Structure 1
Amino acid sequence: MSRTSRLLTLLQVLRGKSRPVTAAVLARELEVSERTLYRDIAELTALGAPVYGEAGIGYVLRSGLFLPPLMLNADETEAIVLGLRYVDQRGDDVLGKAAADALAKIAAVLTPAAQEALRNPTVMPGPSACAYPENVVPLDVFRQAIREQAKLHLDYADAKQVSSQRLIWPLALGFMNEARVIVAWCELRGAYRTFRTDRILAVSAQGEVYPGRRSDLLRTWRTLMQLDEHGRFTPDKN
């Protein structure tokens, strides 16, 4: 096994470990000496991999972006760049900054060929979306509730300005061409609903976590909407 292949294999092994693993165990899995293992760990760390270790406990790969060179070809690079530029156009300030930061991190570790694909892509995201309506409630409030599975009480006005009070289980934020929406389970309707964020007049947390797993609820919603895990429409072929 080449050194590059061994480093990538070591990275994958660490990614699959939820708890710290000793150098001896890693060396046995990779069929190398502990001395070689220590050198490989040091090289991964120097390349930017978030590998942390402690004597007597072992090594663990913490969360964080690490893309060593050679991992992306030209087509993969362009797909990522297209997606990030689309996010920059249609996302909010938080996502726009995140997209720019992610693109900078990726650019720093690309090979020369991939760098060329980054500078002169063959695909473009098209014109920027129209300006979104103003939100009364910052989107970060919804992001936090989604991540915490927290119930939210909404003061909501529909397209005809008819107000209603809703208690929702927020599942995801959707960025459409003309509006941003929250996908949620609505306790009032007893069904999945989407709410435009610009029509939410006020929001308050209930200090209560909704039951079940968000991933399961979102999967059920996708099935009802005939969407796959990537949000693509999948009509029933029967």
Structure 2
Amino acid sequence: MSRASRLLALLQQLRRRRSPVSGPTLAKELGVSIRTLYRDIATLQEQGADIQGEPGLGYVLRPGFTLPPLMFSVDEIEALVLGSRWVAARSDARLGAAAENAVAKIRAVLPASLRDSVDAATSTVPFVEPPEPVRVDVADLRAAIRAEHKITIAYRDGGRTETRRTIWPISIGVFERVLVVAAFCELRQDYRGFRLDRIVALEPSGTRYPRKRAVMVKEFREREMARSTARN
């Protein structure tokens, strides 16, 4: 492995982690000596990578240092293209357009030898009918999820009975023709899934809900897994 490739591989290992990782662990993963690892970390720091830590404590790469698209392999490019096609076919129009724009930006900066891989991706997604139309702006819902804010919705169930609820949204699930927001419902005092095509109106509150979204997502997944196991 060339030194340039080794430095990129080190950046990739650091980028994958959110918590500090020890020098010996990194050295073992990269197949280099601990002395070489320390030299490589010093080189990356000199080049602007915000790597914090020291021997004995571990190292972490702070956000803001961008890896060049040149390091994408053909398989990684294909995964990005396939993912963007899946999102474009099944998500809301705004997110679908964002997925296509992201691939276009990546394609524009790739070397010619890899650029053709974007157009010649061997995998594709099956054709599906357009998702059920959504009345509300899904961007407002995504913003509330990122900010961990409560929202109030007017929701119409399958029997067309309409209720007004305050929910704590944590994630949006994309199914074949339906988008579903997973949320804690204050009315039911439990987690619920709400189809976006049945949300008649949405009002952002600007008020944070009292729990961390990451904790709630973990709790929601554990409950869903338990329910699935019980059914089987």
Cα deviation 1:8-44 (Å, max 9, x = unaligned): 15635874799xxxxxxxxx9642697x668x728xx
Partner of 1:92: 92
How far 1:93 moved relative to its partner? 2.7
Unaligned runs of 5+ in 2: 20-35, 51-60
- Which residue identity does 2:47 align to in structure 1? I
**For 1:31, what is the secondary structure of its paired residue?**
helix
What secondary structure sits across from 1:226 in the alignment?
helix
Unaligned runs of at least 5 residues, structure 1: 19-27, 43-50, 53-59, 228-232
Does the residue aligned with 1:121 lie in a helix, a strand or coil? coil
TM-score (norm. length: structure 1): 0.70
Cα displacement (A) at 1:120: 1.9
Q: Residue 31 of structure 1 is aligned with which of 30, 33, 39? A: 39
For 1:158, the equivalent position in structure 2 comes to: 157
The residue aligned with 2:212 is: 213
Q: Percent identity?
A: 36
The answer to whether the 8 A contact 1:67-1:109 is kept is no
Equivalence for 1:77: 77
Q: Deviations over 1:104-152 (max 9, x none)?
A: 23324556664444222222111143242231x2111111110111111
* Number of aligned residues: 207
Residue of structure 1 in register with 2:186 after alignment:
187
Compute the TM-score of the two structures, normalised by the length of structure 2: 0.71
What amino acid is the match of 2:3?
R
- The answer to whether the 8 A contact 2:149-2:168 is kept is yes
Task: State how 1:1-238 maps to structure 2 within 5 Å.
Answer: 2-9=2-9, 11-12=11-12, 15=15, 30-31=38-39, 41=47, 62-63=63-64, 66-72=67-73, 74-110=74-110, 114-135=114-135, 137-226=136-225
Helix, strand or coil at the partner of 1:194: strand
What SS class does the counterpart of residue 219 from structure 2 fall into? helix
**Residue type at the aligned position of 1:41:** Q
Q: Tell me the C-alpha RMSD between the 2 structures.
A: 3.6
The question of whether the paired residues in 2 share the 8 Å contact of 1:171 and 1:183 is answered with yes
Question: Between Structure 1 and Structure 2, which shows a larger proportion of helix residues?
Answer: 2
Query: What amino acid does structure 1 have at the position aligned with 2:82?
Result: L
Q: Equivalent residue for 1:25?
A: none
Using the alignment, how far apart are the partners of 2:168 and 2:44 within structure 1? 47
User: Given that residues 70 and 110 in structure 1 are in contact (C-alpha distance below 8 angstroms), is that contact kept between their aligned partners in structure 2?
Assistant: no
2:172–2:180 CA contact under 8 A, matched in 1: yes
